[in-house]
Chain A
Amino acid sequence: MIAPTTPRKDMVMFIVFAIAILTLPIWMAPLGGSYPDLLQKFAIFGLFAVGFNILFGLTGYLSFGHAAFLGVGSYTAVWSFKLLSMNILPAIFFGMITSGLFALIIGYVSLRRSGIYFSILTLAFAQMSYNLAYSVLTPITYGETGLQLAQYDPRILDAQATVEGGGIPLTNLFGLEMQGWPGFYFCAVVLIIGFYIAMRITRSPFGMMLLAVKSNQNRMNYTGLNTRPYTLAAFVISGIYAGLAGSLMAVTDPLAGAERMQWTASGEVVLMTILGGVGTLLGPVLGAAIIKYFENIFSAINESVLHAFFGFLPDFIENGLVNVASLFVGKGWHLTLGVLFMVMVIFLPGGVIEAYDRIRKRFFSKETRSSAAPQAGDD
């Protein structure tokens, strides 16, 4: 059985989601994660993954080059800060526009193929963009050093803002500076809006066609539907989401570097989406939060923390455990992530959302829920 969707169920999910995001600073405190830097990352990467899921989760086209759009969004936003204004709205607007145009071009070419060939094409485009940003386009991207703000940038829209010896002004929303908590709350609100839009897309006729693309393109063609514009639209929408996430990165920390476009960054969003639950609405946000949490918390643990943790044990056991555990923390946090990812893919291919569904089914409902297959958009 596939539970039918209703506007009411969606509204409940959306409200719970919005409250959970806005209260992150409170309930992340016991988990040691209640500081704006980390929570901003939750929101930004959550948004990136939500957009990525519109392409990967709904149409099944696995892009390995979405970081390119993230990078384009960042560069554009920083240029907007330099040339136009430190106000973040134009930065975000132009970040979304340029990444959307980029996605249109790359998508138009890449979507001529499907499956692994599509993935390879997007990967190749992203690596090309990375190399362009790193070396060829140095006048625009400032290559290795990265694009940074300078005190004497033109900023033509806020003319009187450059005070002699006053330092570089901060990014702001009509005067409200986007550092620390205001920065987080701004990103959180954008994430909530982005989530709502993704939810509407998933439940729309357009979203249904994207699911049809994933399920059977042949039948789609013989049903009178042209698959190409559907996949291209999904690609561009998810590219715009990535550009938005990229410009938010620049909003909270106004610099842009080429490493943001590297394939590892593209791979990361794939991991986030799969870890959370491909094709579900909440999964990508959860996956992004889990990965960013691990990155920040596990990488901060060092040997002395471990010694303190295992301190109650006899010395030789303590040392042994610390030696083993230290492989998985600090710089080795990727190892933890890798193990977690493997366990998830093998035992829970539907990600955290599938885990939740299974638990819920086991404990809370003994009625007529039969099908265990995770369903797109069915959280």
Chain B
Amino acid sequence: MKILEVSNVNKRFGGLQALDDVNLTVEQGHVHAIIGPNGAGKSTLLNCFVGRLMPDTGSVIFDGTSLLGLAPHEINQTGVSRVFQTPEIFEDLSLLDNLMIPALAKRDGAFTLNAWGRVDQDAEIRDQAEHMLEDVGLQDKRHLQSGTMSRGDKRRLELAMCLVQNPKLLLLDEPTAGMSRADTNNTIDLLKKIGERGITKVIIEHDMHVVFSLANRVSVLAQGHVIAEGTPEEMKEDQRVKDAYLGAGHE
């Protein structure tokens, strides 16, 4: 079953054709990687999914609803969560609060004026947050201020913040960018672990090691265009992919 369907998406920034007639289909439950050289339009494409950018033409259909023209919070409420290249977390708050906020957003919607109940007595939300922290191995730090953690831990936390909402689609923008090899492997393990939950994931990635460990479908983007699509193994051997990465005419 198709969960995300991107058809004929174009996006122009002045003289630059950032996305050129992009077509993409993501199957439910798949881990779909979007790879491509720098400037290929990967992040632009992702931004078109989450309401940060509006494509000039084309359509993005998620689970039967068009995402175009929706605000980021509306898109999230349809079941799409996003992990950023640099972790976006609530740095001033404790880890527990960081997880309770998305859990509340999932349960109570985009705006609820509950100014009287005590949030520290909300057992349902608190349990969700505590369990999620255990799942990503951060339970010992739950009262720590999240901004004081290492980058790897912040990434873990951000991922947990997305997962606690139990999204239908998880978008990951270079989840291992700037990480050491050890941290990268930890993140891969974590992503594999959450893969068992059956959440559909779209990963944008530079690191082939990450792509081949996780993805079961790969789309290759170059100069705003999808030049090839297939399984990771097929893509490894594809001449067009090699050309795009290494330049045509290489040996």
Interface residues of A (CB under 8 A from B): 1-7, 200-201, 203-209, 211-212, 214-216, 218-227, 229-230, 233, 237, 371, 373, 375-376
Contact = CB atoms under 8 A, between A and B. Distances in A.
Contact of A225 (B82, B96, B105, B143): B105
Given A215-B93, A216-B89, A373-B145, A223 B117 contact: no
B58 interface: no
Contacts of A211: 90, 92-93, 97
Interface string B80-103: 011010001111111011001110
Given A1-B143, A216-B88, A216-B91, A223 B115 contact: no
Nearest to A218: B88
Contacts of A205: 104, 108, 112, 114, 117, 119, 122
Contacts of B165: 223-224
Nearest to B78: A224
A223 B116 contact: no
Interface centre among A206, A222, A226 (most CB of B within 10 A): A222
Given A2-B144, A6-B120, A226-B110, A208 B104 contact: yes
Given A4-B143, A208-B100, A226 B116 contact: no
Contacts of A209: 101, 104
B110 A208 contact: no
Contacts of A5: 120
Given A212-B101, A226-B111, A371 B148 contact: yes
B113 interface: yes
B101 A208 contact: yes
Contacts of A371: 144-145, 148
B115 A201 contact: yes
Interface of B: 50, 71-73, 76-77, 81-82, 84, 88-94, 96-97, 100-102, 104-106, 108-122, 143-145, 148, 161, 165
Given A221-B71, A371-B145, 15 more contacts: A1-B143, A2-B144, A208-B100, A211-B90, A211-B97, A215-B90, A216-B88, A216-B91, A219-B161, A221-B72, A222-B82, A224-B105, A224-B110, A225-B105, A371-B144
A205 B88 CA distance: 20
Nearest to B141: A1
A204 B117 contact: yes
Nearest to A230: B111
Contacts of A208: 97, 100-101, 104, 119
Contacts of B116: 200-201, 204
A7 B82 CA distance: 34
Contacts of A233: 113, 115
Given A3-B143, A224-B102, A206 B112 contact: yes
B76 A224 contact: yes
Nearest to B101: A212
Given A224-B76, A224-B102, A206 B113 contact: yes
